[in-house]
Amino acid sequence: MLSKKIESLLNKQVELEASSSQYYLAMASWAQIKGYNGVSSFLYKHSDEERMHMLKLIDYINERGGHGLVPTLKAPPKEFKNVQHIFEQILTHEIAVSNEINKLVEQCLAGKDYTTHNFLQWYVSEQIEEESLARTLLDKLNLIGNDKGGMYLFDRDLGTLETEHDKKK
């Protein structure tokens, strides 16, 4: 059985994963209308992954006798400066998510909830992967700079990049 405190912290994480999903969905839609088909396809998949992270948490909370709550979300931004800026925002956002996961892990240890601690290890590894992917893509974009040809290839490659989402299909 979950303590009320851990249940509430897990529900906060549900909200964060849900808002991450919306955030990436807004980026995907922006990239699509700007003609970056590869970037938008990558971001749509990324948004789906965040929804999966949210669902996994809701299921866990419910399985442990709590109640996974569907949050009210603030609308994400509509406009983005450029693709590079999007990936900067993704990296910053994922670092913030990792910090929240780490705090949650600490609270589980403090409350001696080893089951939830164990459950959260999946998120700890996932965050390492997500941060590393965002850093790699941002490094590439920094190399490309204002080179239109480079950006064309980046977009094309991102459309064919196999992500965690593809592997789970």
Would you tell me which residues interact with ligand FEO (CB under 6 A)?
Answer: 17, 20, 50, 53, 94, 97, 130
In the bound state with ligand FEO, the residue whose beta carbon lies nearer, of 108 and 134, is: 134
Find the shortest distance in angstroms from Cβ 20 to ligand FEO: 5
The answer for residues whose C-beta is within 8 angstroms of residue 30's C-beta and 6 or more apart is 78, 79, 80, 86
In the bound state with ligand FEO, the residue whose beta carbon lies nearer, of 43 and 141, is: 43
Find the shortest distance in angstroms from Cβ 98 to ligand FEO: 8
Find the shortest distance in angstroms from Cβ 100 to ligand FEO: 9
Place of tokens 């601690």: 117
In the bound state with ligand FEO, the residue whose beta carbon lies nearer, of 80 and 150, is: 80
In the bound state with ligand FEO, the residue whose beta carbon lies nearer, of 94 and 113, is: 94
